[in-house]
């Protein structure tokens, strides 16, 4: 059970040995995040499956600490970079296969109208 003692002279209440004011002035307070977002970063809310989040947290713990959010960001970056190279490889393959079909035609006949 919490014990509370009010001190009239200072206008504070002691709750479990800690002093608390009876009123706080939030007129100069600002809503929003306490920490500013670093450049090139965007604060979002995302829903991730519990098992996925737990896996990333475990990896950070095994590494001796750090940020699971940074680890997730790195994993997403690797995926996007591998997708870009895969797209580039696919485009190169398609061009190699398709260009010989059009090599005998004039350039103006290749433009679709």
Question: For the segment 4-42, what is each residue's pLDDT rounded down to a tens digit?
Answer: 565 666 666 666 667 777 788 889 888 876 778 889 999
Residues 57-105 pLDDT 10s: 999 999 999 999 999 999 999 988 887 778 888 888 888 888 888 876 6
Alpha-carbon radius of gyration of the chain: 30
- The residue assigned the tokens 């870009």 is 84
Average pLDDT, whole number, for the chain? 81
Does the reported pTM lie above 0.75? Answer: no
φ, ψ (nearest 5 deg) of residue 14: -95, 120
């Amino acid at each position: 059970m919490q014990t509370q003692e009010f001190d009239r002279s200072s206008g504070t209440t002691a709750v479990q040995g800690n002093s608390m004011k009876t009123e706080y002035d939030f007129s100069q307070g600002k809503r929003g995040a306490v920490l500013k977002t670093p450049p090139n970063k965007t604060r979002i809310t995302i829903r991730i499956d519990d098992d996925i989040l737990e896996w990333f947290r475990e990896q950070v713990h095994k590494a001796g600490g750090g940020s699971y959010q940074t680890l997730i960001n790195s994993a997403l970056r690797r995926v996007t970079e591998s997708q870009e190279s895969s797209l580039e490889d696919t485009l190169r393959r398609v061009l190699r296969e398709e260009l010989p079909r059009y090599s005998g035609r004039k350039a103006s006949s290749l433009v679709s109208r």
